[in-house]
Structure 1
Amino acid sequence: MKRLIAHIKLMRPANVVTAIADIMAGFAASGMVVFWLENAEGGPTLFWLVMSTIGLYAGGVVFNDVFDAELDQIERPERPIPSGAASVFSAGTFGALLLAAGIFSAWMVSDTSLLLALFIAACALVYDGWGKHQAVLGPVNMGLCRGANLLLGVSAVPAVLTEVWYISLIPIVYISAITMISRGEVHGGDRSTLRWAGIMYGVIFISLILLAWVFSAAFWQVLPFLALLAYFIFPPLFRALRDPQPKHIGMAVKAGILSLIILDAALATAFAGWLYGLLVVLLFPVSRLVAKAFAVT
């Protein structure tokens, strides 16, 4: 049982919930939401895409710990692999199975979804083994994983991808900001880096308002979701700016990751209205509840 729990910890379950929100936001951008809500058309497609992102995201974060096994012996000995609760071999096998399941699930939707899943898996492995050690390319690498994950949701209707591909830039910028902040999780942060992350957050807010203006006559519906997002991500960031110690950096990172769901809810609202956005945001308390039992960072 301890080994089972250790491998579940490796998946970062609370984070996996945020990946599901990406799919739901992308599904809204694809235009399938109306058919799904009215007569359940597209339900199987949404199911397979959700299964795909669970496998891809969980597999990616499992391999993160596999690649960091030696470093974690020094910096984070409480993690499953350095603590001995899981081995590098068992974790690697588990991660490979998760990635394979994610790729297979995407294939059940379309060849386009399959190609996106392969791209996401490749980006995740590149980040785990190389990207996270790069000052500039690392955050972009991680952002690409989430941007492609959003497009995986859009691939419910492959033809729409060429029309709304640019929405993937929103999670790319957002995740790049979080990744920049996380650099100080162990040894403390740098105020200039935190300021740049705050500016990138601001760009996200402006982009979502403009997106809602273009795609929705009732663009104001996105504003409550943005207010909620600001409430959760900016206070921890400001605390980290005042005192960039690892504890405050970690809280800012955790808030940013979990608040991805609210970001996705705002994005979904821009395309499908506030009721669907509310459905997405209901994943937020689920993620926070799971985060009490399992580490987020």
Structure 2
Amino acid sequence: MRPRDAAELVRLPAALTAPGDSLAGAAAAGWPYGGRTWAAPAASVCLYLAGMALNDFADSDLDAFERPERPVPSGRVAPFQALGTAVALSGAGLSLAAVAGGTRALRVAVPLTAAVWTYDLWVQRTAAGPAVMALARGLDVLLGAGGDTRRAALPALAVAAHTAGVTTLSRGEVSGTTGRAAAAALTGTATAAATAAALAATRAGTAAGARPRTAAAPRTAAAPRTGTGRRTRVAAGIATGAALAGYAATVGRAQLAALRAPGHAPTVRAATGTGVRGVTGLQSALLAGAGAPVLAGALTALGGLARVASRKVSPT
């Protein structure tokens, strides 16, 4: 298998959208893995790549008709190579999850891996497909959170809503979709953005009221500086708003175009690709809202890299 064939098999540019899931979960839960946090997004990437390789193995017959240029139907990659790649990457993802958080992380990583395999092998062409894919991405967020569903539930919901919409729309990449499917994708994007905005507003309000200053409790050298805290909240708010605006302007606009012309397959395909890459904007908003604006900026840059790389290798 040549490097170019392997990159096409696993949709390599799209893998750049995976680290943000677990990072958003980790930020929401207060970085539960500490210095081993790096292993969670690495696990996310491996499991994402595994799903892409497994998808091509499972879809080889359909791709021979709809996308004969793909690596497996074109003969550049043998089916057993695609399956072996999926198995190896799944094992690597589970191993990295164990490095990040041991049993606690594996309690999420194992169901996540099961969801990926279930989607690719059994349900992707059924009505349950979008829900199972959304479940997988939601679990990916919880993987970074160490399974802390209380604090990471809303970030997981936001990413899951986005994923359900994009997955529903992706079914029309080859022959076009329906107005209902395009509307569902746009609804998923709106739900994700609203959830991220509400979460950021709630956190900002909580932080603002956490340590009120009173005449009886003046600031001391050891006490937190209210001005600094306010500036931090303002910076986080600006970063969150900018990320959400970019998310709506890219993903939302592309999906609106698909809603206006649902039967035009190239428009639907473009909206799907934009949705796959555009999740980084949502992830950046979640990170900024959780108090990690610098990391959010880095993730936005990663999304830009994914867009550039997508010109060479298709992410869908």
Give the TM-score normalised by the residue count of structure 2: 0.85
**How far apart, CA to CA, are the structure 2 residues paired with 1:142 and 1:161?**
18
1:43-96 per-position Cα deviation (integer Å, ceiling 9, x unaligned): 3x1221122112111011100000001111111100000001000011111110
**How far apart, CA to CA, are the structure 1 residues paired with 2:302 and 2:61?**
34
Instruction: Give RMSD over aligned pairs.
Output: 1.7
Q: Name the amino acid aligned to 1:256.
A: G
Which residue of 2 is the match for residue 213 of structure 1? 201
Q: Name the amino acid aligned to 2:58.
A: F
Q: 1:183 to 1:289 in 2, by over 3 A?
A: same
Matches within 5 A, 1:246-257: 246-257=265-276
**Aligned residues of 1:24 and 1:280 also touching (Cα < 8 A):** no
**How far apart, CA to CA, are the structure 1 residues paired with 2:294 and 2:47?**
28
Matches within 5 A, 1:31-180: 31-32=30-31, 42-43=34-35, 45-109=36-100, 110-135=102-127, 137-155=128-146, 160-180=148-168
SS at the partner of 2:39?
A: helix
Q: Name the amino acid aligned to 2:133.
A: M
SS at the partner of 2:5?
A: helix
1:240 matched to 2:228: no
The size of the alignment, in residue pairs, is 284
**How far apart, CA to CA, are the structure 2 residues paired with 1:211 and 1:181?**
26
**How far apart, CA to CA, are the structure 1 residues paired with 2:97 and 2:17?**
18
**How far apart, CA to CA, are the structure 2 residues paired with 1:74 and 1:261?**
32
1:91-135 per-position Cα deviation (integer Å, ceiling 9, x unaligned): 111110000000011111221211211111110111001221112
1:120-154 per-position Cα deviation (integer Å, ceiling 9, x unaligned): 1110111001221112x111100011111111111
1:135-180 per-position Cα deviation (integer Å, ceiling 9, x unaligned): 2x1111000111111111112xx5x444333431111111000011
Of 243, 255, 264, the residue aligned with 1:225 is 243
**How far apart, CA to CA, are the structure 2 residues paired with 1:236 and 1:166?**
25
Pair member with larger Rg: 2
Gaps of 5+ in 1: 34-40
Structure 1: 4+ residue segments shifted above 4 A: none
Identity of aligned residues (%): 27
**How far apart, CA to CA, are the structure 2 residues paired with 1:20 and 1:46?**
11
Deviation at 1:238, TM superposition (A): 2.0
Give the TM-score normalised by the residue count of structure 1: 0.90
